[in-house]
Amino acid sequence: MSEESFHHALLVAWLVTALAVFVALFRITAPYGRHTRSGWGPTVRSTAGWIVMETPALAGFVAMFALAARPVGAAGVAFLALWVGHYGYRALLYPALRRGGDRPMPLAVALMGLTFNLGNAYLNGRWLFALGPPHGAGWLTDPRFLAGAALFVAGFAAHVHSDRVLATLRRPGETEYRIPSRGLHRLVASPNYFGEIVQWWGWALATWSLPGLAFAVWTTANLLPRARAHRAWYRRTFADYPEERRALIPFVF
Ligand code: NDP
């Protein structure tokens, strides 16, 4: 089997799995964070879990860039900058900034995240730097790239700010939950998820690629049902939780 055929088959399997995961996650909420429960096997500290899950996405994409089968050009460098900007934050900075890192996370969740991130870095990186159509320097002024990169940056800013608001609800060492009331948290239960979803749809547009689209679909499939579960949890847990606050998309859902 050629690498092109392998990449294509993996991509199809990826998309089908995303749809299955989307349906499943409305019934089973992934057991980490506030939805942690027993019966999911051995656990690791959640800070270690985040580093284990996310570092392969960073290293894998950089490896695909380093192994590029052709000159990557300015557009390739721009894709690398967007990806490394996000995963540098998610894999290295975010685990250090979040609070409550001693909470256990099932090892199975960390390993599933690791597997997803390795496959996703391969699908996206290999397509952009070897198997897909090359993006010349002119791509940087294409409206799809400009609009996609703007969405990416806006989504990134939204989720980093929302992550920060959550981190500052706790003092170091605390694990309690409180009602967040700053920034986009005033509108939705999970603005960090909203920002992340906007970001990867921006990536799909900026790269104009099926692997980029598959990543955006996966992110939505993963985070939309979880945002719904978060909102339901807030309403069960806090009698004074604002009723008008939506789950994920301001004023809509
Ligand atoms: P959560 O919003 O559930 O939690 C984020 C952090 O804030 C955790 O440390 C959590 O603590 C803490 N926290 C959350 N709510 C409160 C509260 N009300 N009071 C005090 N502390 C709170 O996000 P996730 O952990 O699921 O995800 C973290 C980041 O990773 C997000 O930005 C998300 O977008 C991204 N992500 C991306 C995915 C993708 O598919 N691309 C998949 C999953 C996550 P605790 O851990 O104790 O609950």
Predicted pLDDT at 127: 98
pLDDT band at 252 (very low <50, low <70, confident <90, very high): very high
Which residue owns the Cα nearest ligand 1 atom 9?
Answer: 98
CA gap 210, 174 in Å, rounded: 42
- Residue of 83, 89, 94, 163 with the most ligand 1 atoms within 8 Å of its CB, for mutation: 163
Mean pLDDT of the chain: 97
Instruction: Write the pLDDT tens digit of every residue in 107-148.
Output: 999 999 999 999 999 999 999 999 999 999 999 999 999 999
DSSP assignment, residue 30? Answer: -
Predicted pLDDT at 171: 95
Which residue owns the Cα nearest ligand 1 atom 4?
Answer: 33
Distance 205 CA to ligand 1 centre (A): 25
Cα–Cα distances (Å) from 24 to 17, 112, 180, 246, in that order, read 10, 15, 28, 22
For residue 39 the two structure tokens come to 């019966």
Alpha-carbon torsion 50, 51, 52, 57, what sign?
positive
Predicted pLDDT at 223: 98
Distance 70 CA to ligand 1 centre (A): 38
- Rounded mean pLDDT of 34-43? 95
pLDDT band at 162 (very low <50, low <70, confident <90, very high): very high
pTM for this prediction: 0.97
Q: How buried is 182 (Cβ within 10 angstroms: 0-12 exposed, 13-18 middle, 19+ buried)?
A: middle
CB of 106 closer than 8 Å to CB of 32 = yes
Angle at 144 between CA 226 and CA 199, to 5 degrees: 20
Distance 162 CA to ligand 1 centre (A): 9
- Residue of 178, 196, 201 with the most ligand 1 atoms within 8 Å of its CB, for mutation: 196
Instruction: Write the pLDDT tens digit of every residue in 146-161.
Output: 999 999 999 999 999 9
Q: Report the percentage of the chain scoring pLDDT > 70.
A: 100
